[in-house]
């Protein structure tokens, strides 16, 4: 796990889907006057230079945010996401930097909203500290986010958002995600929990998603929304990341309708083969 660097993948199709959902959830949470707490269990470095050696190695952003950056007449939620990406760049019309979830949160959270960021990587942690050092109501921990989540739930204001997006390079991450979600809901059934996962030619992502839906059915207050976008075919060996998905537990009531509008456009724009497709489903309570 500690060998993983998100800088290699910054701004790719998976980041686009994840951060589109993430920003819309934060927008919704900020509509009420009462502050909330954001817990990011695998925060990364905060933001990434797309002209760095890491990012340029595979240039995954070219088939992700790069395809959207110059587009016009996009749905409102995509325009909002892209406006934040532009705001993160020194020159808004040039895509040279990409905001991770901490940078997006820093732009969207209000002064009294709390941020609790967890990052274990020895290189990314100090970068994250520096990126957030001037923000009040913020704590950055060089510790395990799965374990740290237990101490964060329930949050003081009884309003909370949790983003869980490990690398899944270790198979036990799938089991840890399910355990963290179950424990989080047991401690705070109102928590808005966002789980990102990669779509692979393996059983673990599907099995994990099914278990998370069952946990949400049993423990959550408002059900769930699930979206998955498939943009690529398996590589010659039959492997590779085909796409990614997001499961949102206790979602904002507007999230499903937003995704209904956005996903056809996003899938068409980011699809790398004729069979690109998406799945969108929900269960309400």
Active site residues: 165
**CA atoms 177, 180, 183, 188: torsion sign:** negative
Q: Which single residue is written with the structure tokens 């990587």?
A: 121
- DSSP 8-state secondary structure symbol assigned to residue 167: -
Asked if 227 contacts 278 with a C-beta cutoff of 8 angstroms, the reply is yes
CA 65 to chain centre: 14
Q: What is the DSSP string of 245-258?
A: EEEEES--TTHHHH
Residue 178: half-sphere exposure toward Cβ, Cα within 13 Å: 16
Report which of 39, 18, 9, 31 is spatially closest to residue 184, judged by C-alpha positions: 39
Asked if 282 contacts 96 with a C-beta cutoff of 8 angstroms, the reply is no
Task: List, in sequence order, every residue forming a beta bridge with 243; answer none if it has no partner.
Answer: 199, 230
Q: Which single residue is written with the structure tokens 């958002």?
A: 161
Q: Which single residue is written with the structure tokens 């199709």?
A: 13
Cβ-Cβ contacts under 8 Å for 3 (sequence gap 6 or more): 169
Strand-strand pairing, 224-230 and 97-99:
unpaired
Asked if 46 contacts 131 with a C-beta cutoff of 8 angstroms, the reply is yes
């Amino acid at each position: 796990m500690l060998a993983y660097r998100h800088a290699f993948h910054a701004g790719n199709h998976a980041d686009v889907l994840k951060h589109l959902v993430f920003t819309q959830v934060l927008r919704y949470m900020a509509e009420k006057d009462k502050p909330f707490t954001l817990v990011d269990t695998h925060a990364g470095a905060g933001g990434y230079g797309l002209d760095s050696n890491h990012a340029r190695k595979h240039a995954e952003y070219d088939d992700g945010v790069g395809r959207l950056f110059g587009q016009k007449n996009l749905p409102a939620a995509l325009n909002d996401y892209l406006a934040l990406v532009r705001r993160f760049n020194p020159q808004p019309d040039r895509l040279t930097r990409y905001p991770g979830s901490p940078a997006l949160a820093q732009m969207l959270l209000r002064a009294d909203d709390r941020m609790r960021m967890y990052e274990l990587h020895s290189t990314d942690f100090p970068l994250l500290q520096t990126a957030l050092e001037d923000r009040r109501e913020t704590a950055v921990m060089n510790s395990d986010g799965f374990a740290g989540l237990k101490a964060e739930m329930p949050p003081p204001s009884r309003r909370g958002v949790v983003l869980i997006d490990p690398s899944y390079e270790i198979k036990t991450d799938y089991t840890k995600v399910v355990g963290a979600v179950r424990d989080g809901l047991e401690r705070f059934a109102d928590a808005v929990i966002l789980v990102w996962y990669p779509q692979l030619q393996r059983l673990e992502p599907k099995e994990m998603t099914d278990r998370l839906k069952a946990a949400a059915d049993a423990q959550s207050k408002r059900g769930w929304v699930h979206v998955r976008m498939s943009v690529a075919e398996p590589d010659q060996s039959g492997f590779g990341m085909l796409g990614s998905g997001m499961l949102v537990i206790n979602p904002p009531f507007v999230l499903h309708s937003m995704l209904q509008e956005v996903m056809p456009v996003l899938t068409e724009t980011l699809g790398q083969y004729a069979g690109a497709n998406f799945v969108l489903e929900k269960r309400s309570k």
